[in-house]
Structure 1
Amino acid sequence: MANHQPTCKLLLSHPAHFFALGFGSGLAKKAPGTFGTLVGLPLFWLVNGYTLATQLALISLLFLAGIYFCEKTGKALGVSDHGGIVWDEIVAIMLVLTFTISQWQWWLAAFLLFRFFDIWKPFPIRQCDAKVKGGLGVMLDDLLAAIYAILSLKALAWTITRL
């Protein structure tokens, strides 16, 4: 089953694949990472009511589980960081939203900034992506993109309050 597009059969063959492929969003023919990121938005609502510490603990657990999910699914697909693997986008956007003002305009900015940094991969994201392989590598580059997005959102909020 090496080096091919993920299918519904693969999606349903193991829980790790179901999660790694974003409940099916990773099966999208175009822009699966964007669809995976969209899945993260309603999932964030499940943790949004908790304290910051609890949110971060839950997202950390999802990150750690994602290392396994992405590793197993990457091996099944024959590509470590296959575009259909979107659990990394789901968890990363949840982290970004944890530090985002709860208004739709800010959520839209969070979404766009995260996708921008995830696609662009500025230093050191691209280097990390090239050097760290397997499930950890899949999860880590999106964590870094999330950090860039969070810092950008904080800078934007700070700038707006100073106007």
Structure 2
Amino acid sequence: MTTSSNKPDFRQLLKRPACFAALGFGAGLSPKAPGTAGTVVAIPIYLLLQPLSVFWYLLATLAAFVIGIWLCQQAVNWLQQEDPSAVVWDEIVGYLVTMIMAPQGWQWVIAGFVLFRLFDIWKPWPVKLADQQVHGGFGIMLDDVIAAIYAAICLQLLYFLL
């Protein structure tokens, strides 16, 4: 059970490994902008995966998505909220999707971060539709992946235009 504010503390989180991962290893406990904090956590994960071939990168990202559906549902069940802002595994996977075949260099890491956060917050169609209509762990994951596809397309366009 969570605290009265329905947001767990770090000690409670450590007792639930699936929820610990779903909350971005604690980043989702950030009192301000937990989604942004979760995306920050995604950067070192991306840097670890970046050297992989496209095939293995895609496979790892797909695995993170599929596992994320279950992780996010575990956190939804525990926190007893439909889409808890503390759940940020979707931001981690969203950033990984944004960075598929991204150019190398810190400027692209930052550009991907900014673009993903922009589309995740803005929620253009069909991101908003998925956010409102699809529920549970799959719904939490889906809207961020769609936002990430927008961000990835923009990132690639930026690369080819510059």
The TM-score with structure 1 as length reference comes to 0.93
Contact 1:10 1:17 in 2 (8 A): no
- Provide Cα deviations, 1:25-54, integer angstroms capped at 9, x if missing partner: 011000010010000000112211211000
Q: Give SS of 1:6's match.
A: coil
* Structure 2 equivalent of residue 128 of structure 1: 130
Cα displacement (A) at 1:103: 1.0
Aligned pair count? Answer: 160
Question: Which runs of at least 4 in structure 1 moved beyond 3 Å after TM superposition?
Answer: none
- Give the distance between the partners of 2:142 and 2:15, measured in 1 at CA: 25
Secondary structure, in 3 states, of the residue corresponding to 2:99? helix
Structure 2: any 5+ residue segments left out of the alignment?
Answer: none
TM (normalized to structure 2)? Answer: 0.94
The residue aligned with 2:59 is 57
- Note the alpha carbon deviations across 1:132-160, whole angstroms, 9 max, x for none: 10000000011001000001111212222
- Aligned Cα root-mean-square deviation (Å): 1.3
SS in 2 for 1:110: helix
Q: What runs of 5+ residues in structure 1 fail to find an aligned partner? A: none
How far apart in 1 are the matches of 2:114 and 2:94? 13
The share of aligned pairs that are identical, in percent, is 43
Is the contact made by 2:28 and 2:35 (CA closer than 8 Å) also made in structure 1? yes
Report the secondary structure of 2:49's partner residue: coil
How many angstroms apart in 2 are the aligned matches of 1:103 and 1:6? 36
Cα distance in 2 between the residues matched to 1:34 and 1:66 = 17
